[in-house]
Amino acid sequence: MKNKTIKVGKFWAPILLNDYFDIKAGKYYYPHEYGHGDTPYISATVANNGVSEYIDLDPDFKGNCITTEKISCQAFYQKYDFCATSDINVFIPKFENFNEYIGIFIATLINYDQNYRWNYGRQCRVGDSKKINVMMPITSNGNPNWQFMENYIKTLNYKRITTKNKYDFDKIYSKKYKKFKLKDLFSNIYKGYPHVKVGLVKKMLNSKNAIPLVTRTAENNGVDCYVSIDQAEKIESGNAITIGDTTATLFYQPKQFITGDHMVVCRADWLNQFTGIYIKTLIDLEKYRYSYGRAFKLKLIKNTEVILPVDDKGAPDWIFIESYIKSIPYGDRI
């Protein structure tokens, strides 16, 4: 296949994806046209590798290709045969040595280069997709270096996490439950010290005197970056729940940390990494009630109710909760 790109630098160049992929639109099915089944149905979701559900129709597309959704151009490698809605662009490789490793590499390049360019008002349709250029590693003759892409992905640590635990729904359904306000569960709910990120000396994760700065970010367990512990005005000990009060982002913090602005810290004697995961999940279910215009402020946090399994005396059964988290799939890997 003739390469139409101009070589940039020594190892990378912008590559027109349409030169190496046939790009087609998915096909929309009305809900009454299908039921539950085994065929992945790819839609405009950025979760679950783009799979919104499994349906009982025959696949329209063969696996071993890439899909993008048109709202944000989120790309995924599709291993198995599938159906796709009309919100999906399907990139079918024109070259024979395309595989999962190359697909993951290219999907990552598309996400890095394209996600920020598109939105609901400016969608990436098939015609737009055919114009996409992404920077790729190239060979000495200027063609995409497929072998390098494959080898690179193979070097990454992607060993599958395994678990010996299985779901036991009877265990959780057999318990009695009761509502509790967070202020009655936590012994202390308070505003963290508002460290200002600007001016703090950033440190590498494993460097000496580094401490995580926990902010309202929804990523990386709330850790914005690592900074010098010498600049900390107030160090928070680990074993706490942190909540961003304007974003309703919350995480369990196992180690000592410092907080940014608009951060709430929750503490209790019953709290540990297992009960912390459980209570965090329950509070997350209440996040839909709040937004930037109706912030998850301290008073609202304290009065938020969650439903917990209880013991014979009607108190939260923290022993059961801890053992339950340990028993569910991947709980043995915590």
**8-state DSSP, 202:** E
- Please tell me the pTM assigned to this model: 0.56
Average of per-residue pLDDT across 42-59: 93
Sketch out the chain's domains with CATH numbers.
12-155 (3.90.220.20), 169-327 (3.90.220.20)
Chain segment 144-163, per-residue pLDDT in tens? 999 999 999 998 866 677 77
Chain segment 276-298, per-residue pLDDT in tens? 999 999 999 888 787 767 788 99
Task: Decide if pLDDT at 221 tops 70.
Answer: yes
Count the alpha carbons within 13 Å of 54 in the hemisphere toward its beta carbon. 6
**Which residues partner with 253 through β-bridges?**
240
Residue linked to tokens 């939260």: 316
The reported pLDDT for the residue numbered 8 is 42
The reported pLDDT for the residue numbered 329 is 76
pLDDT class for 7, splitting at 50, 70, 90? very low
Task: Decide if pLDDT at 3 tops 90.
Answer: no
What is d(CA 22, CA 98) in angstroms, rounded to the nearest whole number? 13
Pick the range with the lowest mean pLDDT from 82-91, 94-103, 117-126, 271-280: 117-126
Say what percent of the chain tops pLDDT 70.
Answer: 94
The reported pLDDT for the residue numbered 308 is 96
Pick the range with the lowest mean pLDDT from 110-119, 137-146, 166-175, 269-278: 166-175
What is d(CA 173, CA 206) in angstroms, rounded to the nearest whole number? 43
Pick the range with the lowest mean pLDDT from 130-134, 144-148, 168-172, 309-313: 168-172
The reported pLDDT for the residue numbered 170 is 61
| Cα 210 to Cα 205, 227, 243, distances in angstroms | 7, 5, 22
User: E-assigned strands of the chain?
Assistant: 12-16, 21-25, 36-42, 51-55, 65-69, 75-78, 83-84, 88-93, 133-137, 177-181, 188-191, 202-203, 210-214, 223-228, 240-244, 249-253, 258-259, 263-267, 305-309
Show the tokens assigned to 183: 């202020």
Chain segment 172-195, per-residue pLDDT in tens? 667 899 999 999 999 999 999 999
Question: Length of the chain, please?
Answer: 334
Task: Decide if pLDDT at 270 tops 80.
Answer: yes
Enumerate residues 6+ apart whose C-beta is below 8 A from 197: 213, 215, 224, 225, 227, 260
Tell me which residue of 136, 151, 59 sits closest to 97, measured CA to CA. 151
**8-state DSSP, 236:** B
The reported pLDDT for the residue numbered 201 is 85
Name the residue with higher pLDDT: 166 or 297.
297
- SS3 track for 165-200: CCCCHHHHHCCCEEEEEHHHHCCEEEECCCCCCCCC
Show the tokens assigned to 265: 């810290």
Instruction: Return the ∠ at Cα 259 (arms to 256 and 262), rounded to 5°.
Output: 150
